Copies of this chain bind each other. A is one copy, B any other.
Amino acid sequence: MTAVQPQESKRQRAPSKRSLATRERVLDAAEAVFALRGFEGATIRDIAAEAGVPVGTIHHHGGGKEALFHQTIARRAETLSRARLSAIQRVRAEGPMTLEAVLAAFIRPFFELTDQDGGWRHYARLVAFVSVDDRWRALSAKFFDPTAEVFFAELLALLPRASRPQIAESFVFSVSAMLALLTSRERIGVLSGEDAAQEDQIDHLIRFCAAGLRG
């Protein structure tokens, strides 16, 4: 805030490699603990223990519990968005522009990321929490709604005979079904009694949503 420093709140130095690594560890730990216990159920101490750092370090990097939660959501949101948008671009470029292709472009990237990395698995649970809870409405609006609206527009174009509210409802149903599958693939396995291949489950989800949207 001095006259010597005209650019306000800009970092003086780039963070060191060590600092960046610690920051990643902290966010990994936060992701895991938040996913397991929810926001209020998680404690800074749990996260510190999980990350193997002192409690103070969490505050240094995270800047408070709520800011830490925001960062945890924000970290992977961009990657997810980009994966989805480039998938829909590919569909636009290569066709065919079917309902199934649009839904797959929205759904598949999330599952692919989730399957390749345990951190993304935790993130999927977090997204489900955030989506279902009105207290995090602002977070959803900032990180997920813009991409969702791109896909919503595609659905509108693909289903000219359906009304806008109907498509909106169907889209909400589809997203909630996707989150259910993301967060409880194990549980579904138990109920069904057999082990369905995961690829089949995702195919099935896409067919379910497409049929619902058409119906």
Known: A132-B129, A208-B215. A168 touches B191 (CB 8 A): yes
- Flag whether A194 is at the interface (Cβ < 8 A): yes
Copies of chain A in the complex? 2
List B contacts of A40 (CB < 8 A). 37-41
Stretch at the interface among A45-53, A55-63, A112-120, A180-188: A180-188
Main secondary structure of the interface of A (DSSP, over half): helix
**Which A167-215 residues have C-beta < 8 A from chain B?**
167-173, 175-177, 179-181, 183-184, 187-189, 191-194, 196, 201, 204-205, 207-215
Bound-state Cα–Cα, A181 to B174, Å: 11
A96 CB-CB contact with B under 8 Å? no
Is the CB–CB distance between B207 and A215 below 8 Å?
yes
Is B208 in contact with A170, judged by CB distance below 8 angstroms? Answer: yes
Contact B183 A177 (CB under 8 A): no
Tell whether A15 is near chain B: CB-to-CB under 8 Å: no
Chain B residues with CB below 8 A from A177, complex form = 172-173, 176-177
Q: Please, which residues of chain B bring their CB within 8 A of the CB of A170?
A: 204, 208
Which residues in chain A, 112-158, are within 8 Å of chain B measured between CB atoms?
Answer: 128-129, 132-133, 135, 152
How distant is A42 from chain B, measured CB to nearest CB, in Å?
Answer: 9
Instruction: Determine the distance from Cα of A37 to Cα of B38 in the docked complex, in whole angstroms.
Output: 11
What B residues does A164 contact at CB under 8 A? 192-194
Interface set of A (CB-CB < 8 Å, partner B): 37-41, 128-129, 132-133, 135, 152, 163-173, 175-177, 179-181, 183-184, 187-189, 191-194, 196, 201, 204-205, 207-215
Which 6 residue pairs are nearest across A and B when measured between Cβ atoms? A211-B215, A40-B40, A165-B192, A168-B192, A176-B180, A173-B177
26 contacts between A and B (CB under 8 A): A37-B135, A38-B133, A39-B40, A40-B40, A40-B41, A41-B135, A132-B132, A152-B191, A164-B192, A164-B194, A165-B189, A165-B194, A166-B196, A168-B192, A169-B192, A169-B196, A169-B201, A169-B204, A170-B204, A170-B208, A173-B177, A173-B180, A176-B180, A208-B212, A208-B215, A212-B212
